Amino acid sequence: MNMAALVTKVLGRCSLPRLNNFEPTNISRQLTRFASVKAAVLHELCGQLKVENVERKKKLEKNEVRVKVHTCGLNVSDYLVTRGEYDVKPKLPFIPGHEVAGKIIEVGSGVSKEFGVGSRVLALSKKEFGGLSEEVVVAQSDLWTIPTTISYQTAAALADNYSTVLIGLGRRAKIKENDVLLIGAGSGGLGLAALDFAANVYKAKAIVICSSEERAAALREKGAWSALTYNDKGIINKVKEVTDGKGVQVVFDALGGPVFETAVKCVAHEGKVVVAGHAIRQAPPIKVAEVLPQSFSIMGVSLRNYLVADYETYRQAVQDALDMCEQELINPYVSQVLKLSEVNKGFKKLEDTNCPGKVLIEMDD
């Protein structure tokens, strides 16, 4: 499939597996060898995670599979949920982690043949979490097959950020070749995914804003057309200068606060501002009157909301990200791989935001 066809899949068309029509297969004969598995458990909000043995879920529902987790991606939402600051309020004891790559070791009686024992799968368990464990039980609707050329690490780094960006830039903002895109939080997981798509799929010109000159240099190497730091004086003037005074067609912001306010002042006539997050934990104030002078649009994108409100687009976005990765068009940046026993170190990195790209947790041998 060529690149243009891949991109248009997310822009409009959605061809999905018909989940309701999957044929049932036999329940796996896999025997339960252990009564418990190791997991990272939260016992009190804002507390440290304890790596300990937890009881396995004994019996699968018809539509569920049991996945032996190889790698679990860490996301800001994992950090927020452990602090009680996320939409999902954890019922303690709680196991965070929702972006998982591993192998199926048991299937329920109603699961499609597509997902059998031994299948390499990506699971997004956005409702239940539980991925920071040697095993996780998920519904088949939360599963995607990992192509053989994609590693567990890459799959676990890809799904959440890249599908969010695909929906934001492709479906919502309808970004085009040669558009100028301004990315807030350029060195975070979402920012790097937006840069990857802009530079390597959409062929747009990405201007990224980040915290330091060192990070700006790294982002230029990754294909940024221009990289500025938060401290750069006159960001608006610089953006206007490189766009012949027109401004940018698209803003993709995951940072919020003053950077968002600056970015909004850089939008071109009929431009689009995609709000994907606010890493600084300060929701940007939106003054409705600001959209008038440039006749621009502000649009939000929440992957979690797509899961609930538009499952087909959600599913297709993850599939498209996997397809583009298989075709080596995109490649998520992993900054660190830690063991389950080091999980609190990973959460500290989320808290400190001192690790660009993705932090992954691999299960201990």
Ligand X SMILES: NC(=O)c1ccc[n+]([C@@H]2O[C@H](COP(=O)([O-])OP(=O)(O)OC[C@H]3O[C@@H](n4cnc5c(N)ncnc54)[C@H](OP(=O)(O)O)[C@@H]3O)[C@@H](O)[C@H]2O)c1
Which residues does 61 contact at the CB level (< 8 Å), separation at least 6?
108, 139
Q: Which of 67, 181, 255, 360 binds ligand X (CB under 6 A)?
A: 255
Contact flag: residue 25 with ligand X (CB under 6 A): no
Q: Which stretch binds ligand X (CB under 6 A): 137-145, 159-167, 231-239, 288-296?
A: 159-167
Could you tell me the two tokens for 302? 């929440």
- Does 191 sit near ligand X (CB under 6 A)? yes
Residue with Cβ nearer ligand X (92 or 299) = 299
Minimum distance between the CB of residue 166 and ligand X, rounded to whole angstroms? 11
Q: CB of residue 200 vs ligand X: minimum separation in angstroms?
A: 18
Q: Is 215 in the site for ligand X (CB under 6 A)?
A: yes
What is the C-alpha radius of gyration for the chain, rounded to an integer number of angstroms? 21
Q: What is the dihedral of CA 240, 241, 245, 250, to 10 degrees?
A: -40
Report long-range pairs for 29-32 (Cβ below 8 Å, ≥24 apart). Answer: 30/105, 30/106, 30/117, 32/56, 32/58
- Whichever of 108 and 186 has its CB closer to ligand X, that residue is 186
In the bound state with ligand X, the residue whose beta carbon lies nearer, of 66 and 358, is 358
Q: Is 132 left (phi over 0), alpha (psi -120 to 50) or beta?
A: beta
By CB under 6 A, the residues from 269 to 288 that bind ligand X are: 276-280
Closest CA to 195 of 172, 162, 171, 228: 162
Which of 76, 111, 321, 325 contacts ligand X by CB under 6 A?
Answer: 76
The residue (of 51 and 279) whose beta carbon lies closer to ligand X is 279
301 belongs to the binding site for ligand X (CB under 6 A): yes
Query: Which of helix, strand or coil describes residue 246?
Result: coil
Q: What is the DSSP letter of 94?
A: B
CB distance 190 to 163 below 8 Å: no
Which of 7, 132, 159, 210 binds ligand X (CB under 6 A)? It is: 210
Question: Judged by CB, which is closer to ligand X: 69, or 303?
Answer: 303
Work out whether 362 is an interface residue with ligand X (CB under 6 A): no
By the rule CB under 6 A, 336 interacts with ligand X: no
* By CB under 6 A, residue 172 contacts ligand X: no
Q: Which H or E element spans position 251?
A: strand 248-253
Instruction: Determine, following the binding rule CB under 6 A, whether residue 343 of this chain makes contact with ligand X.
Output: no
* Burial per residue of 70-97, b for 16 or more beta-carbon CB atoms within 10 angstroms, e otherwise: bbbbbbbbbbbbbeeebebebeeebbbb
Is the Cβ of residue 61 or residue 213 nearer to ligand X in the bound state? 213
Cβ atoms within 10 Å of 52's Cβ, excluding its own? 12
63 vs 164 by CB, closer to ligand X? 164
- DSSP structure string for 287-306: -GGGHHHHT-EEEE--HHHH
Q: Which of 49, 355 has the CB closer to ligand X? A: 355
The residue within the footprint of ligand X, chosen from 151, 243, 336, 353 (CB under 6 A), is: 353
State whether residue 273 is helix, strand or coil.
strand
Using CB under 6 A as the binding rule, whether residue 160 contacts ligand X is answered as yes
Residues that bind ligand X (CB under 6 A): 75-77, 160-161, 164, 185-191, 210-211, 215, 254-255, 276-280, 301-304, 350, 353, 356
